[in-house]
Structure 1
């Protein structure tokens, strides 16, 4: 006779553990509420004050931003960032304050702390992105030409900033979840190096364009000089800058190559200095030669320009040499060109009135007899004057 086989029913341990854990959490929560009522109320009071302050700051930030949406002032940049404070972050912050003040049970405290950490990381990423983009936009909104130049690069900048901020925030969140992020960080690093090497030229010109926009060595419409080229800036692009040479050609040069050169910005001159070299003949009487600097000074003052200096510089091969320096108070080269012309004509006219002769290359030949006595190179009275047939 066989004994009946008994079937043992094994309970689901996982479900039982979850149910027991939930029951325990409920019991702990009820006990916590009963024994820490005062602390919870105090924590709620502090949390309410903090939330009200943050709501007020968000409202004021939104008003600051709406007054100047073009981000021309730092106040509008900060205001836009404050306006991006999220409600769920305030709720998570309030829960964290209550948990800290009321000494919440372990599991509840850990859960609230975890949610607050996630909320803090995400909110910080939102603030960081807003600040970085606001800084870039603020620096470019102050100049129309710079803003236009950055228009083509702004989308790429937003993508790069967003990717960088999200990547950092994601790594921090995963680390809080106790996920090993070593491999992820290494992969991102290797990927970043590969992308950087592949697009080295593009990024180099992009950062050079940003350097031009931020540092502002020149802007659209400025006249610049580099490597013997005189040109006017017509467009500052993402990769290259276009200039119009004074001879009419369009010059296209990469931003990186342009910044490697020594650039002279001629538009920002508040004055231009002009130098004249003047020479008079050696037969000029010393009294008149001594008066030449004063004559030049009178000419400059009469024309309404700024006299700098004038004086004797040396004995030339065919002249007594003088130098004149004066400033024309204008950045416009056309004005300087006309002023130089007027000064030159005035010097020519005044020297004629004073009896001063301009020197020009001359050569005097002396002839001598074998004994060294100076003689005329031709018969006295000219050839044929002696009556010789």
Structure 2
């Protein structure tokens, strides 16, 4: 097998609406390829065996009422998000040091990686390189992207970053990918995933375990650098290519990606002491990784006779995604007056999806996808 150090990987192209000083997307530009399918057609295809990464959902601009809710949520939670960023960043610096390379998992990880990078620069004056790469359940991580990073930063410690945890599926994909890289290439990477919120209890690097709304979960590409979900299809992605994505440049006028970052970063100065205390507390008393959330989901699967666990999407972020780009069956919530789910109730009402109270839920809510027949994203 050829040495990964000399693998001829294609250089990245400029993508996304973020400045390159914030993030470099290691993704192949598929902007000119027609990949979108309607929600119903995509759902049928996924549940009939087509892998979700081979097509994209049609992305629509949010309504005025929904955007207003997003802006309101952002104002209310900006300081809370900043604190979660600060705690996570302090943990990363303590464990990995100032030579760390941030590797965010596209898409939800990208704005979080940028916020962590900005915090470390603003508070500690360390400039951490930050790349955003693709990881796909059922297919693995983009190895070419990792080879590229390791070629550019020999000997550096990599820190994988995502937005939040649900069932922990991506954490498992990351662990398997790191084991594969070690076995096949002798590359040893830390599979610990840093997230802002870990309601699934499946990592020990997080800002909080509260299942609260990270505002970037409210929107699709317009808060993720105008980038689509990542795509992996043999006819589009060659052996030396990165996984693919579309850059929706036509939506630059509606883009809120940099606005989201700008709303959070001013709070960093005021939360430093609290962030350091929070990180030190976690370091002194490491939180348990119990996978408690997954056990909840398994119970829901049994109770509702759901054929595939992947039809259950736990947590505020994942439930939001179900309502934005899947065909939902019902939404389970811990309680109706939970302030973290106001936008969930708004979306559910707009799509005529029933909302049911499920007492004792680890998460604020769970979205259940309507079963057509088979596997799901």
User: TM-score band, normalised by the shorter chain?
Assistant: under 0.3
Q: Which has the larger radius of gyration?
A: 1
More helix by share: 1
TM-score, structure 2 as length reference: 0.16
TM-score of the pair, normalised by structure 1: 0.16
More RCO (CA 8 Å, sep 6+)? 2
